[in-house]
Amino acid sequence: MIPVAFDYVAPTSVEDALAALAQHGDDAKIIAGGQSLLPVLRMRLNAPEMIIDLGKIESLRGVRDDGDAIVVGAMTPHSVVGSDPLVAEHAALVAKAIEHLADAQVRHRGTFGGALAHADPAGDLGAPALALGAEFVIQGAGGTRTVAADDFFVDLFETAIGEDEILTAVRIPKRTGWGAHYEKFVRVAHQWPIVAVAATVRVDGGSIAEARIGLTNMGSTPVRARAVEDALAGQPATEDAVRAAAQQAAAGTDPPSDLNGAADYRRHLARVLTRRAVLAAAGAA
């Protein structure tokens, strides 16, 4: 279908984009890579009167070193983030997840910030962002605020970004030397995950000193597998120890039942994929 007619602006600064948002209120919608928004418009699930394109705002692009963290501009395409050397060195989990995100075309158009702002519970970037303890930099008319990953994902397709605000960057604390792995379960290649597990671990002398694990599509938002993280701390990085800890992967989750799988099946997947992801991450550390 063809979208309902809309007006279009492409400001060159965040301030101008915010002014356009303030002027058009509920009638406006931001577009980043358009990989999720355009299908929504074409299906006429949303009919904004004004589209505000962030594509010409250079300050929203790129990855930079910021001392104890790396900062990823919201408009940086997945393909750029996934091949960035700073990401590979300090936030390998993000690079691992992007390897499995959609196909090459989508990775070239879709943006890091757009995917996180969209907050699809099956999206591949939420769980890594949660596991890495990312912070979301959000700008509005009143200034800039930073929201922790634990508070960013509010519900299905809902985040802490206000209607008059823009996500400008994501700050990811460095986890240099940590092993990382993203284990995604799909029926055919390039699909959204039925369930996926993002795991990053710090191994010290053959033991797992610290583990951080995020689950994709096990609820209306990405969730941390905290029971597994606690169970893994101080354990040897062996198949038996990781298998035992991974049994708790579904604790506290509320997975959906749909055509791709029942909730119970997803709980089973979470346990199996968590074991695989943690063992692979420990092996890479």
Ligand X SMILES: Cc1cc2nc3c(=O)[nH]c(=O)nc-3n(C[C@H](O)[C@H](O)[C@H](O)COP(=O)(O)OP(=O)(O)OC[C@H]3O[C@@H](n4cnc5c(N)ncnc54)[C@H](O)[C@@H]3O)c2cc1C
98 binds ligand X (CB under 6 A): no
Residue placing its CB nearer to ligand X in the complex, 52 or 245: 52
Query: Quick one: CA dihedral 153, 145, 77, 42, positive or negative?
Result: positive
Give the number of other Cβ atoms within 10 Å of residue 204's Cβ. Answer: 12
For ligand X, give the closer residue by CB, 191 or 247. 191
Q: Give CA angle at 66 (56, 133), nearest 5°.
A: 95
SS3 245: helix
Size of the chain in residues: 285
Of 101-109, 173-181, 225-233, 252-260, the window that binds ligand X (rule: CB under 6 A) is: 101-109
36 touches ligand X (CB under 6 A) = yes
Task: Indicate whether 33 belongs to the interface with ligand X (CB under 6 A).
Answer: yes
Task: Find how far residue 21's CA is from the centre of its chain.
Answer: 24
Query: Residue 41 interacts with ligand X (CB under 6 A)?
Result: no
Give, as ranges, the residues between 181 and 200 that touch ligand X (CB under 6 A). Answer: 192
| Residue spans of alpha helices (H) in 14-148 | 14-24, 37-42, 78-82, 85-90, 92-99, 104-109, 112-118, 126-131
From CA 129, how far away is CA 74, in angstroms rounded?
13
Residues 118-157 that bind ligand X (CB under 6 A): 118, 123-125
User: Which of the ranges 3-11, 28-36, 206-214, 244-252 carries the binding residues for ligand X, by CB under 6 A?
Assistant: 28-36
Q: Whose CA is closest to 98, among 121, 129, 139?
A: 129
- Which DSSP symbol is given to 261? B
Binders in 48-87 for ligand X, by CB under 6 A: 54, 74
Binding ligand X (rule: CB under 6 A), the pick from 31, 228, 270, 285 is: 31
Q: Find the binder of ligand X among 72, 95, 131, 166 (CB under 6 A).
A: 166
Nearer to ligand X, 95 or 231 (CB): 95
What is the smallest separation between the CB atom of 1 and ligand X, expressed in angstroms? 16
Q: Assess 218 for contact with ligand X (CB under 6 A).
A: no
**Residue 32 interacting with ligand X (CB under 6 A):** yes
Site membership for ligand X, residue 215 (CB under 6 A)? no
| Integer angstrom CA distances of residue 259 from 21, 40, 184, 265 | 38, 21, 17, 12
Could you tell me the smallest distance in angstroms from the CB atom of residue 11 to ligand X? 13
Judged by CB under 6 A, does residue 96 bind ligand X?
no
